[in-house]
Amino acid sequence: MTVESCAGTYQRRWWTLGVLSLALIAVSLDNMVLNVALPTIQAELGASASELIWMVDAYIVVFASLLLVMGFLGDRFGRALAMRVGLVIFGGASLAAAYAGTATELIAWRALMGVGSALIATASLSMVTAIFPREERGRAIGIWAGVNALGIGAGPVIGGVMLEHFWWGSVFLLNVPVVLVALAVGILLLPESRDPERRPLDLPGFVLSTAVVSTLVYALIEAPNRGWGNPLVLGAFAAALVLGGGFAWWERRIPHPLVEFGFFRRRRFSIGVTAVGLASFALFGTLFAFTQFLQFVQGYGPLEAGVRLIPISLGVMVGAGGADRLARRYGTQRVVAAGLALLGVLLASFLAWGPSTDYWVVGATFFAMAYAMGCVMAPATDAVMGAVPQERAGVATAMNTVSRMVAGALGAAVTGSVLFTIYGSRVAAATVGLPADLAAAARDSVGAAMQVAAALPPEAGRVLGIAAGEAFVDAVGLASLVGSAIALLGSALVGRLMPARHQVLEEGTGSEPAVLGGGAARDG
């Protein structure tokens, strides 16, 4: 049963969007819940610091590296089928992770969850593109993006509640009923769609693309911890560069490539992907610092901090949900450029923060930043998806998501390195006179500094705690200028180069599509 041949299913497209959103909630919720549960998991399983890191990173590396492959498989064999297989893998791995007996087992199940998530993520957005007509697609993508943000914002809160009442495995068990409901309802509501051309499998392209992305993401993850000049990190970056060159060479010489580089000659596609990547770099570079600021500097507990991060989720929902209406009125170009500009200004405003900054300022800034992000992500994603043939929606989704993830990882790596370098230099004076191991720990992170301060005599601990908090806030303000500059640069780029109107797709991939006139065809 296909979208084209089943009008009844197509007419229930808004209900179908609900199923796709439910599947997406399970994925986004799980990743945020895990961050809250890590301290408990460490205590229960006796996990080392390295194992804790890989509980998070194993998922990220597998998910990112398989996106292009899974997007192609969904296009070729059916996106509804890909969604169902992804849900089964994700739900089964979640169930197994809940009862993992060792840290190694949990890491393995998290990696398998990344496989399922890659199928879900690529299938969900490509199905939105397939079942919604052009005039409704922007609104649908805005809802899709907003629901994704709902899971991100609710994750820390739900994780905190679950850990207060149940054992650590419950945070993974939570996924199972959501997956079962999505599978059951999806049988009735998910229409099948696929590429009618049924392109042959590009096995060398599969292998090369997986190797490129996994190697690059691994290097970005390890760089802040090992150092940018570490031989392993440099080797991983070099390998990613060589593999990327090999991948591009291979894809350009075969008749049915995994990635059609001709898409990038369409400015709505290339600038849309770039906008998504630059926004992700700018925001995710400092996002990881927010929880540390709330917990270690302002003294909130994990659940309290999670509740105070909810404005981020609400901001993305409101921004993404209303972006289509703004884009129809003012044009995609103006809305995306304005969103990036607002994001850049708000990131620079961190320079005015202090350790005792009132929460109403913090919460309002979180909301406004997330709102700006929603105004970028939803219309830019709509531009990307509208610039490629519908039958290639899965690969286009994957390319857009890879851009977002790699740029986000790069932003976290670069901004994080700048942040911790500045923090270490600014807190150094307060660690003079401490034993060498304690001084090194205090200079390493604000969390470690607060632990050291708690173990010192009251007055010495108070002095170190104040110094560490001030140093961290100063470092966040200065490091955020990196993301601010990137966002403002992106705003100028989008304002100059992105076409403001939806474009008719032509056959092939070589030429720029023609621009449509008229109200319904406008992105503005």
Model's pTM, two decimal places? 0.80
Whether the pLDDT of residue 516 is over 70: the answer is: no
Whether the pLDDT of residue 509 is over 70: the answer is: no
CATH of the domain at 76: 1.20.1250.20
All residues at 6 or more sequence positions from 8 whose CB lies less than 8 Å from its CB, including other chains? none
User: What single-letter amino acid sits at 465?
Assistant: G
In a domain, 485, yes or no: no
In a domain, 285, yes or no: no
130 with 19, same domain?
A: yes
Domain holding 105, by residue range, is 1-198
pLDDT tens-digit readout, 407-423: 877 887 788 788 888 88
In a domain, 330, yes or no: no
pLDDT tens-digit readout, 203-250: 888 888 888 888 888 888 777 777 788 898 899 899 989 998 988 888
In this prediction, residues 286-306 reach a mean pLDDT of 79
- Examine the fold and report which residue of 222, 255, 288 is the final residue of a domain before the chain moves on: 255
pLDDT tens-digit readout, 110-122: 999 989 988 888 8
Whether the pLDDT of residue 105 is over 50: the answer is: yes
72 with 27, same domain?
A: yes
Are 498 and 267 spatial neighbours (Cβ–Cβ below 8 Å)? yes
pLDDT, residue 512, reads 45
pLDDT, residue 219, reads 84
Whether the pLDDT of residue 346 is over 90: the answer is: yes
Whether the pLDDT of residue 455 is over 80: the answer is: yes
More confident residue, 201 or 488: 488
pLDDT, residue 74, reads 79
pLDDT tens-digit readout, 255-267: 777 777 777 777 8
Whether the pLDDT of residue 506 is over 70: the answer is: no
Q: Which residues on adjacent β-strands are paired with residue 514?
A: 504
Q: Using a pLDDT cut of 70, give the percent of the chain over it.
A: 88
Instruction: Please give the mean pLDDT across all residues of the chain.
Output: 80
126 with 37, same domain?
A: yes
Whether the pLDDT of residue 338 is over 90: the answer is: yes
151 with 229, same domain?
A: no
Whether the pLDDT of residue 270 is over 80: the answer is: yes
pLDDT, residue 510, reads 42
State the Cα–Cα distance between residues 209 and 215, nearest whole angstrom: 10
In a domain, 151, yes or no: yes
Q: Which residues on adjacent β-strands are paired with residue 504?
A: 514
69 with 137, same domain?
A: yes
Whether the pLDDT of residue 517 is over 60: the answer is: no
Whether the pLDDT of residue 73 is over 50: the answer is: yes
pLDDT-derived band at 93 (thresholds 50, 70, 90) equals very high
pLDDT tens-digit readout, 325-335: 888 888 888 99
70 with 216, same domain?
A: no
- The DSSP 8-state label assigned to residue 492 in this structure reads H
136 with 90, same domain?
A: yes
Which of 1-5, 154-158, 375-379 shows the lowest per-residue confidence on average (mean pLDDT)?
1-5
118 with 159, same domain?
A: yes
Are 460 and 479 spatial neighbours (Cβ–Cβ below 8 Å)? no
State the Cα–Cα distance between residues 340 and 325, nearest whole angstrom: 18
- Examine the fold and report which residue of 220, 240, 255 is the final residue of a domain before the chain moves on: 255
In this prediction, residues 340-356 reach a mean pLDDT of 92
In this prediction, residues 3-20 reach a mean pLDDT of 63
In a domain, 30, yes or no: yes
63 with 176, same domain?
A: yes
160 with 227, same domain?
A: no
pLDDT-derived band at 391 (thresholds 50, 70, 90) equals low
41 with 134, same domain?
A: yes
How many residues are present in the chain? Answer: 524
In a domain, 417, yes or no: no
Count structural domains, the chain: 2
131 with 207, same domain?
A: no
Are 356 and 472 spatial neighbours (Cβ–Cβ below 8 Å)? no
In this prediction, residues 127-142 reach a mean pLDDT of 77
More confident residue, 135 or 187: 187
pLDDT, residue 5, reads 39
State the Cα–Cα distance between residues 378 and 157, nearest whole angstrom: 25
In a domain, 353, yes or no: no
- Examine the fold and report which residue of 153, 172, 198 is the final residue of a domain before the chain moves on: 198
Which of 344, 349, 281, 393 has its CA nearest to residue 3?
393
In a domain, 39, yes or no: yes
